[in-house]
Amino acid sequence: MAQLLDDRKDLIIPKKLVKVGVAQYSAVNFDLDKTLDRLETIVKDASNKGVKLLVFPEAFLPGYPHGGDLGVIFGNHALAGRKIYQLWHESAVEIPGPAITRLSKVAKDNSIFLVVGTIEKEPTSSTLYCTVVFVSDEGLYLGKHRKLMPTNVERLTWGLGDGSTLPVYDSPAGKVGAVICWENYMPLLRTTMYTKGIQIYCAPTADNGDNWQYTMRHIAMEGRCFVLGCNQFTRRSDYPADSEFPNAISDKDGDRVLCRGGSIIVSPLGEVLAGPNYSSEELLIAEIDLNDVIRGKYDLDVVGHYNRPDIFTLYVNEKANPGIVTKMQNLNCSEGGMNEDRGKCPHPCIKKGKGCEEKNTEAK
pLDDT in tens, 86-127: 888 999 999 999 999 999 999 999 999 999 999 999 888 889
- pTM attached to this predicted model: 0.84
334: in domain: no
Domain count, the chain: 1
Residue 224 CA: distances (Å) to CA of 134, 215, 217, 233, 272: 22, 14, 10, 28, 14
DSSP 142-168: EEEEE-SS--GGGGGTB----TT----
Cβ-Cβ contacts under 8 Å for 112 (sequence gap 6 or more): 43, 46, 47, 51, 52, 53, 54, 137
330: in domain: no
d(C-alpha 21, C-alpha 188), whole Å = 27
Bridge partners of residue 158, in order along the sequence: 128
**Amino acid letter, 177:** G
Cβ-Cβ contacts under 8 Å for 281 (sequence gap 6 or more): 24, 25, 26, 233, 261
Active site members: 58
Bridge partners of residue 143, in order along the sequence: 134
206: in domain: yes
At 361 the pLDDT is 40
d(C-alpha 231, C-alpha 229), whole Å = 7
Residue 233 and residue 26 in contact, taking contact as beta carbons nearer than 8 Å: yes
Residue 39 and residue 60 in contact, taking contact as beta carbons nearer than 8 Å: yes
At 4 the pLDDT is 54
Please report, in tens digits, the pLDDT of each residue of the chain (364 residues total).
555 555 656 666 778 899 999 999 999 999 999 999 999 999 999 999 999 999 999 999 999 988 787 777 777 777 777 888 888 899 999 999 999 999 999 999 999 999 999 999 988 888 999 999 999 999 999 999 999 999 988 888 899 999 999 999 999 999 999 999 999 999 999 999 999 999 999 999 998 878 899 999 999 999 999 999 999 999 988 888 877 777 777 767 778 888 899 999 999 999 999 989 999 999 999 999 999 999 999 998 999 998 989 899 999 999 998 776 666 555 555 444 434 334 444 444 444 444 444 444 443 3
At 164 the pLDDT is 94
59: in domain: yes
At 363 the pLDDT is 38
364: in domain: no
Residues spanned by the domain of 207: 17-299
253: in domain: yes
At 69 the pLDDT is 78
At 330 the pLDDT is 52
CATH of the domain at 186: 3.60.110.10
7: in domain: no
2: in domain: no
